[in-house]
Amino acid sequence: MSWVVRKILRGAMIFISWFVVPYSWMKVWRIPRHKLPPMNNSLLEIPATDLAQMIRVRQVKSENVVQAYIDRCKQVNPYLNAIVQERFDEAVTEARAVDEFLASTQKSLEDIEKDTPLLGVPVTVKESIGLAGMSNQGGMRFQTPRIAHEDAPSVAQVRKCGAIFLLVSNTPELCMLWETYNLVTGQTRNPYDLRRSPGGSSGGESSLLGAGASLLGLTSDIGGSARLPAMYTGVFGHKPTPFVVSPQGHVPTSTDPRWGEFFTIAPMTRYAVDLPLLLRCMSDPQGQEIDLNTPVDVNKLNYFYMDSDGESGLIRPLTSDMQDAILRVAQHFNAQKVHMELLKWSFDVSISRLLRIKDIETIYNQMLDTEKNRKLSTEWLKYLFGCSRHTFPAVLLGYLQKFAEILPQSRHDHFERISNELKHQFLQMLGTNGVLIYPSFPTSAHQHYRIYHKILDTTYMMIFNVLGFPVTNVMVGYDKKNLPVGVQIVAAPRNDRLCLAVAKELEHAFGGWQKPPQST
């Protein structure tokens, strides 16, 4: 992309902001500036790793834990609008069965922990991931509601580990936006400021986690969908190495063999210490193997950091708060600042590869729907006249895909070569003992709908889906508006344990998740 085109795109984002910002104000001024009810149950503040052990030794009952989270969900959801469908009664019944089993079993504690490490622990799931018997529409309207007939492989693995599922949470239509609203459930809000976005597309999960209404969440990530929401709500989200977790059982999906190279089901947790546990439970037994057991000495890792994308001219510079977050983490590890010239092509590479995924389910290609596929021109006219059943991102995607199709193959080949070279440079730098500290996003959580003139800034996250590197968003403090800020920790493929170990160290150093503002 030439310098002139980059300037035009950057100018277009400024132009779009002239419409988006006033629209955002019109929408958010009606949202009351309420604070969430206080967290009064101490069970809500115990990491899952400890909670699972307490349940196993019968120090606490699973029923009491599950009920505590159900009560918290009922408390905060009227403020957040994060829940699509709950299964609270079934969860309580399952928790009682766990307590009865533990009271009568002759099985050793070691065997219980080995076979069911999450026994009796509550978990929530992004609605786009199949949970048997629950809504599985991906925020999309259907003439007949779509219900998951079976668990997604990742859900089945977590259920096998003894977890108890509470609900499915909100997502934008077909997960096609870094903000969470749709025409079925509506808009989900940020627990730290109800007038701000919890991010997307896993905003329902991040909102519940940040509010203390969930402990472990199953989310998904194809362009930062597990990392931006985690950053916006002060929790931890990890994009695993491709194929560590099965990408199947999700809406949307794709028949493209390369789908799993870019897309993955991803863990999101309130406490960094719980990420390895949840990832281990989610992992596909037939998938890519990674080592999560070998201890990591964070003092012996090689640390690098960057505070820009290589000066592409497309992505806005970091705010002073985000810049400070990067520098504080870099100083904590005495990291070396590096520069990669090829990163200025991140947006071009990301868009070229992601928009060319074949047979992905959209409103124009509904592989799992009985309705007829829609036409671009017809759907756009319906949207302009307020007659469409779909949101703007879902309508626009078809045009973006057409744009990628009309680009000369030589341009795509050029971006493919840049992608391969960039991956090679990262591998050379990181090796098997290095991590990169990199921005998650230029700002903390913005007001609702303002992602539209910040779309280019998501390149900070998308590039690692394209390259296939594991990445963890780590909570490292608050900005001047008392909103959470975070950074990405990147490692080479199959070195997820390095990201997770650094996340745990930073949680200890900077405090990790803190309760959002609460009413007195």
* Contact of 405 with 412, CB cutoff 8 Å: no
Distance CA 154, CA 291 (A): 18
Considering 24, 61, 62, 126, which one is annotated as catalytic? Answer: 126
* Contact of 217 with 69, CB cutoff 8 Å: no
* Ordered DSSP codes for 392-431: HHHHHHHHHHHHHHHS-HHHHHHHHHHHHHHHHHHHHHHT
Locate all alpha helices (DSSP H) within 228-363, ordered by sequence.
Answer: 228-233, 259-262, 275-282, 320-333, 346-354
Alpha-carbon torsion angle 98, 101, 106, 109, nearest 10: 10
**What Cα–Cα distance (Å) separates residue 470 from each residue in 27, 216, 220, 288?**
36, 19, 13, 12
Distance CA 168, CA 204 (A): 9
Locate all alpha helices (DSSP H) within 275-408, ordered by sequence.
Answer: 275-282, 320-333, 346-354, 376-384, 392-406
* Contact of 171 with 126, CB cutoff 8 Å: yes
Amino acid at 282: M
**Beta bridge mates, 196:** 447
Distance CA 83, CA 72 (A): 12
Distance CA 440, CA 326 (A): 10
249: which 2 tokens? Answer: 């059982």
Element (H, E) at 59: none
Q: What angle do CA 38, 42, 45 make, to 5 degrees?
A: 85
214 is catalytic: no
323: which 2 tokens? Answer: 């810049």
Query: What residues contact residue 417 under an 8 Å CB cut-off, 6+ apart?
Result: none
Query: What residues contact residue 305 under an 8 Å CB cut-off, 6+ apart?
Result: 326, 329, 330, 335, 336, 337, 338, 436, 437, 438
Cβ burial 292-327 (10 Å sphere, 16+ → b, else e):
beeebeeeebbbbbbbbbbebebbeebbebbebbbe
Considering 225, 254, 308, 312, which one is annotated as catalytic? Answer: 225
Considering 169, 201, 202, 283, which one is annotated as catalytic? Answer: 201
Distance CA 428, CA 387 (A): 52
126 is catalytic: yes
Instruction: List residues with catalytic annotation.
Output: 126, 201, 225
